[in-house]
């Protein structure tokens, strides 16, 4: 379907990184869903510096279907940034990011559009179940969601991925957020707007392996927490206050005891414990300041969020987030 920019109703954004075994099935399923919906659409694939022949097969699809467009990034920037690049170029009145590994069923798109037409600006897809994930991943995800909802002033809905429908006005709002550290779940929640959810069963990855490992997930969690909460930064003043108070009480007790009972040398154990404990606490607090400071430094450098190597089917004069 070849339509003028103004008339595109739906933009699908697919971040792709080394997904060549999934691409045929992905387009099969998406195209058959979209062709039944009877609306104008574009599918923007953001190739996030893939090292297999993902880009080649995306380009083949672009040649066959003009509604399939490709952004090729200059290197691997990570999913969140690939998604942001897609949002920058999307022209639809409604925008749906979807994973390339078919964990997000394209068959839900119709349902999302129906809700959107009812007047909602954001329609989440909430996972009813997580198939194909180990108990450890489920447990860590659970802990993360509990922690972040406990300390973030903005409620971040749990068990929702990036698979959701966004109205154009939400995307415009997202583009006004200049931060480099893009914790999408949080940003989506931060913008507000009229939101609703639909439930779905998340299927296991179709082919290939996940690009996440626990180290990446840990850093992702840190990004999320530091960009949506100042609690870890502020807690140290209170802890310090409590510790000083305790130290004062204990100190007074020691002075009094020395005055009354005279000098009493033994006490190696308590000395060691106090020094080690306080040293640990100080290092943790310094580390946390470092986490925030490092992120401030990253933001201050004002580097572009991503670099585009080549565009297929898209015009380069879009205004990227970072400008
Ligand atoms: N992805 C990406 N850049 C990356 C890693 C992943 O664009 O550096 C894409 C990937 O191709 C897929 C989506 O992000 O379409 C989700 O990745 P994955 O399935 O590995 O994550 P999970 O579903 O396990 O959270
Ligand atoms: Mg996946």
How far, in Å, from the CA of 173 to the mean position of ligand 1? Answer: 24
Ligand 1 lined by 104 (C-beta under 6 Å): no
- What ligand has the least distance to the C-alpha of 103? 2
CA 198 to CA 123: how far, in whole Å?
Answer: 7
Q: Give distance in angstroms: CA of 274 to centre of ligand 1.
A: 46
Which pLDDT band holds residue 323 (cuts at 50, 70, 90)? very low
Residues 6 or more apart whose Cβ sits within 8 Å of residue 44: 11, 12, 13, 14, 69, 70, 71, 86, 89, 90, 314
Q: Does any ligand 1 atom lie closer than 6 A to the CB of residue 298?
A: no
Residue 43 C-alpha from the chain's centroid:
21
Give me the chain's average pLDDT, please: 84
CA angle 159, 161, 166 (to 5 degrees): 120
Q: Is the pLDDT of residue 214 over 90?
A: no
Q: Looking at residue 1, what is its pLDDT?
A: 46
Strands 308-312 and 68-73: antiparallel
Atom of ligand 1 nearest to the CA of 76: 8
Task: Give the rounded percent of residues in the chain with a pLDDT score beyond 90.
Answer: 21
Measured by CA distance, the residue closest to atom 22 of ligand 1 is 210
pLDDT at 276: 82
Buried b (16+ CB within 10 A) or exposed e, 282-295: eeebeebeebeeeb
Cβ–ligand 1 distance for 162 under 6 Å, the answer: no
* Residue 17 Cα: closest atom of ligand 1: 11
**From the CB of 210, is ligand 1 less than 6 Å away?**
yes
Percentage of residues in the chain having pLDDT higher than 70: 94
- Residue 15 beta carbon below 6 angstroms from any ligand 1 atom: yes
Residue nearest atom 2 in ligand 1 by C-alpha distance: 79
Q: Is 167 in the pocket of ligand 1 (CB under 6 A)?
A: no
pLDDT tier at 156, thresholds 50, 70, 90: confident
Ligand 1, atom 1: closest residue by C-alpha: 79
C-beta 47 within 6 A of ligand 1 = no
Predicted confidence (pLDDT) per residue in 276-303, tens digit: 888 888 888 888 888 888 888 888 888 8
- How much is the pLDDT for 3? 46
pLDDT in tens, 89-135: 998 899 999 998 888 888 889 889 999 999 999 998 888 776 667 78
Q: Is the pLDDT of residue 215 over 60?
A: yes
Q: Give whole-number Cα distances, 218 to 100, 135, 260, 267, 321, in Å.
A: 23, 16, 53, 40, 26
The yes-or-no verdict on residue 259 having pLDDT over 60 is yes
Using a 6 Å cutoff on CB, does residue 103 contact ligand 1? yes
Give the Å distance between the CA of 244 and the centre of ligand 2: 48
pLDDT at 161: 76
């Amino acid at each position: 379907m070849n339509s003028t920019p103004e008339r595109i109703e739906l933009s699908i954004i697919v971040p792709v990184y080394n997904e060549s075994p999934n691409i045929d099935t992905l387009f099969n399923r998406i195209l058959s869903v979209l062709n039944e919906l009877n609306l104008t659409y574009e599918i923007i694939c953001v190739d996030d510096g893939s090292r297999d022949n993902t880009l080649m097969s995306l380009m083949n699809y672009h040649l066959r279907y003009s509604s399939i467009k490709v952004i090729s990034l200059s290197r691997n920037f990570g999913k969140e940034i690939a998604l942001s690049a897609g949002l920058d170029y999307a022209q639809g009145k409604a925008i749906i990011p979807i994973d390339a590994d078919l964990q997000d069923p394209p068959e839900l798109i119709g349902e999302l559009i129906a809700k959107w037409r009812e007047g909602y600006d954001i329609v989440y897809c909430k996972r009813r179940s997580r198939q194909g994930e180990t108990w450890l991943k489920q447990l860590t995800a659970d802990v993360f969601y509990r922690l972040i909802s406990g300390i973030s002033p903005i409620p971040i809905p749990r068990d929702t991925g990036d698979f959701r429908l966004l109205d154009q006005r939400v995307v415009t709002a997202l583009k006004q957020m200049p931060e480099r550290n893009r914790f999408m779940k949080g940003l989506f929640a931060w913008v507000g707007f009229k939101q609703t959810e639909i439930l779905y069963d998340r299927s296991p990855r179709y082919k290939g392996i996940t690009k996440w490992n626990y180290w990446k997930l840990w850093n992702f969690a840190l990004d999320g927490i530091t960009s949506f909460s100042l609690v870890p930064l502020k807690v140290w003043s209170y802890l310090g206050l409590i510790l000083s108070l305790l130290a004062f009480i204990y100190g007074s007790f020691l002075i009094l005891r020395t005055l009354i009972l005279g000098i009493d040398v033994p006490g190696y154990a308590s000395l060691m414990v106090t020094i080690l404990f306080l040293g640990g606490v100080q290092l943790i607090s310094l580390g946390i300041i470092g986490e925030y400071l490092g992120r401030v430094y990253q933001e201050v450098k004002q580097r572009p969020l991503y670099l585009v190597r080549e565009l297929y089917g898209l015009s380069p004069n879009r205004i990227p987030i970072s400008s």
